[in-house]
Structure 1
């Protein structure tokens, strides 16, 4: 599926498919962190089962601008992490929305296009 940006100066998810996401036309096959403030970083976790609190703690230092919301893409299907893993974000009053990665891509584009301070943490693998 192809997506089109309302604001071309933002990192925008243009397309996605099984095992990949295209951001500003460049295809990515590894999990990543994407911030509306401009950061695009690899996220060193390929599988949902490998997630640890440290993966979510990493999100706090990804952007110089504190996000108001983290959109967590859990992979090809919706899966929720234990609440304790999100404690670092909750303590900083950062909201967390969990959805499958494809829905997270669409949601990130909408929120970033509205000028919201959003960060997407996307598991691209299984």
Structure 2
């Protein structure tokens, strides 16, 4: 789904997500991604939400985010093995399907919030 035209803000807005992955600043990323306003890790994460572990989120706490938006693929998966470990780190987590996570990330980014999006591929199960 195309979200909106990229404005030259210098920030990593998600322009598009579909079965081929994500487009950020005009570049296609075919796997999962870990994205902030000014950094991008691609590829990131396992193939499925059930495979997510605390180590996949290593380093996020050091970014001092206000919120971490986790996109779990085609569907929202609330019973993630790493969830308890992440909450113990004091991270504010919002877990949703990847499409909703992309939209939420862009809204929070536009509000100048310190947001990190940990997004599995949009077609992940």
TM-score by length of 1: 0.83
Partner of 1:52: 53
CA RMSD of aligned residues (A): 2.0
Q: State the SS of the aligned residue for 2:58.
A: helix
How many angstroms does 1:55 deviate by?
A: 1.4
Partner of 2:117: 120
Structure 1, unmatched stretches of 5+, are none
Partner of 2:41: 41
How many angstroms does 1:91 deviate by?
A: 3.1
Structure 2, unmatched stretches of 5+, are none
Partner of 2:108: 111
Q: State the SS of the aligned residue for 1:103.
A: helix
User: Against the structure 1 CA distance between its residues 48 and 92, is the aligned structure 2 distance closer, same or farther, given a 3 Å change threshold?
Assistant: closer
Cα distance in 1 between the residues matched to 2:5 and 2:47: 27
Q: State the SS of the aligned residue for 1:10.
A: coil
Note if contact 1:57-1:88 (Cα within 8 Å) is conserved in structure 2.
Answer: no
Aligned length: 121
| Bigger mean CA deviation after superposition, 18-27 or 43-52 | 43-52
Note if contact 2:54-2:86 (Cα within 8 Å) is conserved in structure 1.
Answer: no
Cα distance in 1 between the residues matched to 2:25 and 2:89: 30
How many angstroms does 1:68 deviate by?
A: 0.9
